[in-house]
């Protein structure tokens, strides 16, 4: 496999940005012109694009998969177009896909495009799948911050920059509203994978989202078990996510 540290200038953000990328090698019998399925792997609130490589064995877990993994940096944006900051939602949902597919031999097909993340990144991954189900076939959340309205007290300062002084979460940034909207549409619906530790401060919110999504008919795989908001748990479950993804052999 190849591990690439990539820096480029974002037209959306008007700043230099960073991402780490893992690319699989071409196996015997595979076409050198093949387009690779891709997982956009998102970091949490206090992390950056290096966290998954530093704290988990993601590269080792991906070694047997026909999968590219893109890990972008988005600061403390909650993957939103911030009221008092930068348009990170537009960056992640549009420019990041365009840029990575231009730089690397990645598939542009929906069935080959996935997202996953932890905490804030779990929220971001589910938002990508629910707000852009035309682009993402499967998304996974580990210990996700899935109910922003109930979680406001945890991140008052951040929410002021992200959503404005009143801290109101718009419908397009509310996963519960997005789930209902996507369920009611005639378009495609992403596969969902959700996991959380039973001692996590976000556990009750995760149970609430699980029940909400299942009541609306989503195909949701759910797992939990002993554990807190820690890398030990995320390292264990990201391996399960890779095994769950519907990766096509080429």
| pLDDT reported for residue 103 | 97
| Cα-Cα-Cα-Cα dihedral sign, residues 184, 144, 77, 125 | negative
Name the band, by pLDDT with cuts 50, 70 and 90, for residue 93.
very high
Q: What is the pLDDT of residue 31?
A: 78
pLDDT class of 165 with cuts at 50, 70, 90: confident
Mean pLDDT of 52-57: 98
Please state the φ and ψ torsions of residue 26, each to the nearest 5 degrees: -75, 125
Decide if 57 is inside a domain: yes
Flag whether 250 is in a domain. no
Structural domain includes residue 122? yes
The reply to whether 159 falls in a domain is yes
Per the domain annotation, does 249 fall within a domain? no
Whole-number pLDDT of residue 30: 77
In terms of residue numbers, what domain contains 37? 2-244
| Residue 173 covered by a domain | yes
- Is 169 among the domain residues? yes
For 174-206, how does the pLDDT look when each residue is reduced to its tens digit (9 = 90+)?
A: 999 999 999 999 999 999 999 999 999 999 999
Total domain count for the chain?
1
The whole-angstrom separation of Cα 65 and Cα 22 is 11
Q: Is the pTM of this model over 0.85?
A: yes
Q: Does 51 map to a domain?
A: yes
Distance CA 182, CA 136 (A): 13
Alpha-carbon distance 23 to 49, whole Å?
A: 16
CATH at residue 41? 3.40.50.1820
């Amino acid at each position: 496999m190849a591990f690439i540290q990539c820096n480029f200038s974002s037209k959306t953000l008007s700043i230099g940005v960073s991402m780490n990328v893992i690319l699989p090698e071409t196996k015997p019998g595979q076409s050198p012109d093949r387009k690779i399925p891709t997982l956009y792997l998102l970091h949490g609130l206090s992390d950056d694009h290096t966290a998954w490589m530093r704290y988990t064995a993601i590269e080792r877990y991906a070694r047997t998969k026909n999968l590219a993994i893109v890990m972008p940096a988005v600061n403390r944006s909650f993957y939103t177009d911030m009221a008092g900051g930068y348009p990170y939602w537009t960056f992640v949902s549009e420019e990041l896909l365009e840029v990575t597919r231009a730089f690397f031999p990645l598939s542009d097909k929906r069935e080959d495009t996935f997202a996953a993340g932890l905490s804030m990144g779990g929220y971001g991954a589910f938002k990508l799948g629910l707000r852009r189900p035309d682009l993402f076939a499967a998304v996974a959340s580990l210990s996700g911050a899935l109910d922003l309205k109930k979680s406001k007290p945890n991140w008052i300062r951040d929410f002021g920059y992200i959503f404005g002084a009143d801290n109101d979460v718009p419908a397009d940034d509310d996963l519960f509203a997005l789930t209902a909207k996507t369920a009611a549409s005639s378009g495609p619906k992403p596969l969902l994978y959700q996991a959380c530790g039973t001692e996590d401060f976000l556990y009750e919110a995760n149970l609430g989202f699980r029940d909400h999504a299942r009541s609306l008919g989503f195909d949701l795989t759910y797992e939990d078990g002993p554990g807190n908001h820690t890398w030990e748990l995320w390292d264990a479950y990201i391996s399960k996510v890779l095994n769950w993804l519907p990766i096509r052999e080429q």
